[in-house]
Structure 1
């Protein structure tokens, strides 16, 4: 495990030993809540075509983009399926194929990483997140001279279990916070890699072992920045519960069971987006 393009670990997913690989992922998840991956199985050509498609879709006329009117609270516009999204934006057949292939590849990677985290703790049941839905969000930042030094995205944690980010390979700005010191570290561009962030659901499931990384995007220069974020969410209508293996006399159960929908609604209602909502679902917080 090496540090490239910043201080967070970079993990080679082609590690010969599954046990060693799983341990590296767990250590990075507990220490930072984030890491980069190389040899991740998503082809470079697919990553290139996906970004090319995203850039083209952002250039659609305003009236075309406004067909996408399903607003997910505090997350922008969202279509229920990739095909619906493609229909709304008049995507070509090649662009539709690219997005479907990309979504499938990233979903497979996300669930493989989740499985490896589960296995790293020696749990017998490893399919906790195999049935959880995923979604992806495309982002375009129009940074201007007057916005340099200001936030493009405020400090926050993600609600779901983990996020896979195909960041802009040329324009930086992503920063993560070290929970132990409160210091921010830049996640510098590193082409052909993917950044992994663990969210609130990972912290809940692991009974506090895994870190829900706080992160933000800062405007570093007056230019356009593109990123593609893919989210492995969590149980939508059933509760996410801490496995009994994580609970003993020395490690009491920290969190009440809660679904992804419930957690997200709590964050929105209480306007707590930087992990503070978890304090409300502790046994003390709900009394």
Structure 2
């Protein structure tokens, strides 16, 4: 319990009282546990979605391979030499009903599965909007509307094939998320996720049912002019059990991103040149800098 509670816990129903705590968590940790969000994402919908995820991974390989990429890594990911224990399915924009519908069609989803996925996508998108606006307000950004309603939201479901021989090895390498916010519905029973704290130590994120983990990514650091922390994290194999997780990523604008004027002044000069999410994602892929190091390439030239 001590490790699981070390990560800050944010109560979505206790705002504005939680604003300073949300800001501290986002600046110091780059992640937090979210509780009391079930008015948006009901517990029974989370449970139904978990059952759908398990059934989708049980599909024959030839059906899973129909889940093709829209951008690199957005479709079916097979176990590889780099991540031999990891398999994933996904779609590029869960905020687009057409994208969600196409994902369901690719995988021959039943009417019940399709409805569950659609409802889950809508609920998580609403959660992104709520959290993003509260984050902007906690930073003192006067214009609470920052356009994130129109940002693409990548969706990825993950399966880790942990076996006795893999205990102690890596499930997914150390990385930061490239987008703005990540909402993770983690496995209720099988741990393995670890986040890096400010001292550089990895802290285990133990299973904690009825909570979500929210991570901040590289785009949050760019948007906030360096104020928000992009948390490094990894998945380790702790026990020989199959592990599932459901990850949703609010990526960033299709147009250029730069900090709001409230976050740039003489004492806080602009740290990053304007960029689009897509340009930044391609730069991360081409440089193979996956743990936030690519942000240094966005520093403006010194005069």
Same fold (TM over 0.5): yes
Distance in 2, matches of 1:71 and 1:19, equals 38
Instruction: Check 1:194–1:83 CA distance in 2 against 1; reply closer, same or farther (3 A cut).
Output: same
TM-superposed CA distance for 1:251, in Å, is 1.1
Query: Secondary structure of 1:130's partner?
Result: helix
Partner of 2:156: 137
Partner residue of 2:181? Answer: 162
Please report the TM-score for the alignment, with normalisation by the length of structure 1: 0.94
1:97 and 2:94 matched: no
Rounded to whole Å, the distance in 2 between the matches of 1:35 and 1:4 is: 13
2:259 is the alignment partner of 1:262: no
User: Is the counterpart of residue 40 in structure 1 residue 59 in structure 2?
Assistant: no
Aligned residues: 281
Matched, 1:25 2:42: no
Deviation at 1:3, TM superposition (A): 7.3
Match of 1:234 among 246, 252, 258: 252
SS for the counterpart of 2:159 is strand
Contact 1:235 1:259 (8 Å CA) reproduced: yes
Distance (whole Å) between structure 2 residues aligned to residue 3 and residue 126 of structure 1 = 35
Any idea what SS the aligned residue of 2:25 has?
Answer: helix
SS in 2 for 1:239: coil
Secondary structure of the 2:174 match is: strand
Structure 1 residue runs without a partner (length 5+): none
For 2:124 and 2:141, locate their aligned partners in 1 and report how far apart those are by CA, in whole Å.
24
Of the three residues 245, 254, 261, the one matched with 2:262 is 245
Gaps in structure 2 of 5+ consecutive residues: 77-89, 93-98
How far 1:71 sits from its partner (Å)?
6.0
- Partner residue of 1:150 out of 162, 165, 169: 169
1:11-52 per-residue CA deviation (whole Å, 9 max, x = no partner) reads 11111xx32222221111011000001111211100000000
Q: Deviation at 1:5?
A: 2.2
Write the distance in 2 (CA, Å) between the matches of 1:71 and 1:117: 29
Runs of 4+ with deviation above 6 angstroms = none
| The one of 182, 205, 227 aligned to 2:200 | 182
Q: Find the aligned partners of 2:159 and 2:186 in 1 and give their Cα distance.
A: 11
Question: 1:47-97: per-residue Cα shift (whole Å, max 9, x none)?
Answer: 000000000011011121122223642455344511111111111101100
1:70 corresponds to which residue? 69
Task: Say whether the 8 Å CA contact 2:74–2:91 is kept in structure 1.
Answer: no
Tell me the C-alpha RMSD between the 2 structures: 1.7
Distance in 2, matches of 1:4 and 1:225, equals 20
Q: Distance in 2 between matches of 1:70 and 1:208?
A: 31
Match of 2:87?
Answer: none
For structure 1, which segment, 56-65 or 99-108, has the greater mean C-alpha deviation from structure 2 after superposition?
Answer: 56-65
